[in-house]
Chain A
């Protein structure tokens, strides 16, 4: 029986195998093959979940749950080449379910929208600037946030993102357009200061 310590060292051949091959090994309860899949896809699944949950501490738990569902029944994935998309879809559905049953109330303080109305003339430091941008992204509706995360932050094509979200490309582009319009509206008030502060950081 495999143990967690045994799975820390992945055999040399497995990291060259395709997702489809690893999935076949995982179906045969090969823990090392599954660990290789974890190495490949857990970071991106965690990033997507983290953004959708606005940095909530449960993001790791939700990302893990998506992988455990794969481990329990690897045959759910019919196309091994589409494994990453399957994992992201399962994880994002888990996040949506959590939003339905338990609204996120323990958001990280960093994600609270900065109120700059009283001292709009003050320069924002980098931390506050980043927090303002994060808060604007966090305030988007879930599906707009997922579309933005997949396309903008994870650099997926519109087609790939639409497949993961199970919508048409037109619908995905509509979600993206609405997300970007909302972001522009929420960030417009601080646009000059944000751009100046972040540009100053780079110089």
Chain B
């Protein structure tokens, strides 16, 4: 591997870099910065009337939990009563009949078996 010849010495590069542009400080930059600082410090007039498009997520409040308690109790009561059958009489007629019909089919389907058992018992 051949070494590339040195294109420029460090001293030459430093001499060139010494002529690079010096950034000018913009006129009034300090005042503009301090004005922005003051603007951030002071509450803005009418800021309360502005509704931001995005709002940070709020922490859940205790009132929210309290409002959920009667809803949860209502759901638990409904499940209990429905399971106990105490609400069947209040179901709409069609639904009640479907349920009753299903029970009747179960009963009818076992008649032949019952007759067979009866004959065995008589003999």
A interface residues, Cβ below 8 angstroms from B: 1-4, 7-8, 29, 31, 34-35, 38-39, 42-43, 46-47, 50-51, 55, 59-60, 63-64, 67-68, 71-72, 110, 129-130, 133-134, 137, 152-153, 180, 183-185, 187-188, 191, 194-195, 198
Q: Which residues from chain A contact B30 at a C-beta distance below 8 Å?
A: 35, 38-39, 42
Q: What DSSP secondary structure best describes chain B's contact surface? A: helix
Please report which residues of chain B, range 1-38, place their CB below 8 angstroms from some CB of chain A when the two chains form the complex: 6-8, 10, 12-17, 19-23, 25-26, 29-38
| B61 CB-CB contact with A under 8 Å | no
Instruction: Choose from B17, B26, B35 the contact partner of A4 (Cβ within 8 Å).
Output: B35
A-B contact pairs, 6 of them (CB 8 A): A4-B31, A38-B30, A71-B40, A71-B41, A183-B16, A185-B7
Q: Which residues from chain A contact B19 at a C-beta distance below 8 Å?
A: 129-130, 133, 198
| B42 CB-CB contact with A under 8 Å | yes
B interface residues, how many (CB within 8 angstroms): 30
Q: What DSSP secondary structure best describes chain A's contact surface? A: helix
Q: Which residues from chain A contact B29 at a C-beta distance below 8 Å?
A: 42, 46, 60, 63-64
Inter-chain contact B13/A184, CB cutoff 8 Å: yes
Residue of B nearest to A7 (CB): B34
Q: Which residues from chain B contact A134 at a C-beta distance below 8 Å?
A: 20-21
Instruction: Choose from A3, A110, A183 the contact partner of B38 (Cβ within 8 Å).
Output: A3
Q: A50-B23, A59-B23 are in contact. Are A67 and B37 (CB under 8 A)?
A: yes
Residue of B nearest to A183 (CB): B13
Inter-chain contact B34/A180, CB cutoff 8 Å: no
Inter-chain contact B16/A38, CB cutoff 8 Å: no
Q: Which residues from chain B contact A42 at a C-beta distance below 8 Å?
A: 25, 29-30, 33
Q: When chains A and B are docked, how far (Å) is the Cα of A153 from the Cα of B20? A: 9
Closest Cβ–Cβ distance, residue B25 to chain A (whole Å): 5
Q: A42-B29, A185-B7 are in contact. Are A195 and B38 (CB under 8 A)?
A: no
Closest Cβ–Cβ distance, residue A69 to chain B (whole Å): 11
Q: Which residues from chain B contact A1 at a C-beta distance below 8 Å?
A: 38, 41-42
Residue of A nearest to B25 (CB): A43
The interface bits of chain B over 33-56 (1 if a CB of A lies within 8 angstroms of the residue's CB, else 0) are 111111011100000000000000
Q: When chains A and B are docked, how far (Å) is the Cα of A28 from the Cα of B11? A: 49
Instruction: Choose from B16, B26, B31, B37 the contact partner of A8 (Cβ within 8 Å).
Output: B31
